[in-house]
Amino acid sequence: MFGFFRKNKQSHVVTGNLSCLGVDMHSHLLPGIDDGSPDVETSIRLIRGMMQNGYRKFITTPHVYPDLYPNTKETILKAHALLNEHLKEAQLDVEIVPAAEYFIDEQFVDLIDQRDQLLPIHQNWILVEISFLAPPQEFSQVLFKLFTEGYQPVLAHPERYSYYHHRKEKYHQLKDQGCLLQVNLLSLLGYYGKNVQEIARYLVKEQLVDLIGSDLHHDRHLEAMAHPSLWAEVNRIMKSGSILNPTL
Ligand SMILES: [Fe+2]
């Protein structure tokens, strides 16, 4: 049906779904520990749906946000073990990696100091998010601290922080500082609104995007993802060769 998407004239293989990404590195699929999947059954249903969209590996990133979701390495590993146990029972052969999405605040600075408490998404890469309301004070200092402690910060969904929409130079500054940028898949589709979509496309055009994450929380995200125009756009973006998901 979507034969058009399968191959183009260059060597890049174009797929009729999201298998060109293969690895998702931002999701809330671990059961019952944040505002994502509430239970194991939901997690398994969402994972099956993601696999039907072409994903084969999931780096799950529950929120670590002390005021709302006071997760620790321990709570995350426990939820991961529980999910893995049920995936095995369901005979679903899929790799799930436990990591986290850290909210930048004072308590995160303390966590950086307790070295072995951070869960990276890959090697030394730490996924961080910031407030949607206002830029965090001392953001640059926190990034600098991560670098000096040997970590590679990855900023989650930079296109969703509206206070940067009219300060586009900020995105270039973050890249120049060495931060990796992760755009949300559904931002490209306009799921979070027109402005967010425009900024996501700007970041792609300026080649500032390193990673694309689903940031999947629930069924509505999954339903929105099954969209051929989104698949085509992702396949186009992948041709740039700068998106790192398949290497994770
Ligand atoms: Fe997230």
Chain position carrying tokens 């961080």: 128
- Burial status of residue 134 (CB atoms within 10 A of its CB: 0-12, 13-18, 19 or more): exposed
Residue 23 tokens, joined: 């690895």
Rounded to whole angstroms, the Cα distance separating 76 from 58 reads 14
Rounded to whole angstroms, the Cα distance separating 154 from 152 reads 7
Average pLDDT over residues 89-98: 96
CA of 3 from ligand 1 middle (Å) equals 33
Q: Strand 63-64 vs strand 23-24: parallel, antiparallel, or unpaired?
A: unpaired
CA of 8 from ligand 1 middle (Å) equals 33
CA of 10 from ligand 1 middle (Å) equals 34
Kindly report, residue by residue over 117-135, the tens digit of the pLDDT: 999 999 999 999 999 999 9
Q: Which of 178, 185, 244 is nearest to 211 (CA)?
A: 244
Question: Could you give the count of Cα atoms lying within 13 Å of 85 in the half-sphere of its Cβ?
Answer: 8
pLDDT at residue 240 in the model: 87
pLDDT at residue 37 in the model: 98
- DSSP 8-state assignment for residue 51: H
Instruction: Give 16's pLDDT tier (boundaries 50, 70, 90).
Output: low
**Ranges of each domain in the chain:** 3-247
Average pLDDT over residues 188-209: 97
Chain position carrying tokens 């590195």: 25
11-15, 44-48, 113-117, 216-220: least confident range: 11-15
CA of 66 from ligand 1 middle (Å) equals 15
CA of 9 from ligand 1 middle (Å) equals 36
Helix (H) or strand (E) holding 95: strand 95-98
pLDDT at residue 15 in the model: 57
CA of 2 from ligand 1 middle (Å) equals 30
pLDDT at residue 115 in the model: 75
Task: Tell me the pTM.
Answer: 0.92
pLDDT at residue 7 in the model: 40
Average pLDDT over residues 86-92: 95
Q: Considering the domain 3-247, what is its CATH architecture?
A: Alpha-Beta Barrel (3.20)
Where do the H-state alpha helices sit in 35-95? 40-52, 73-89
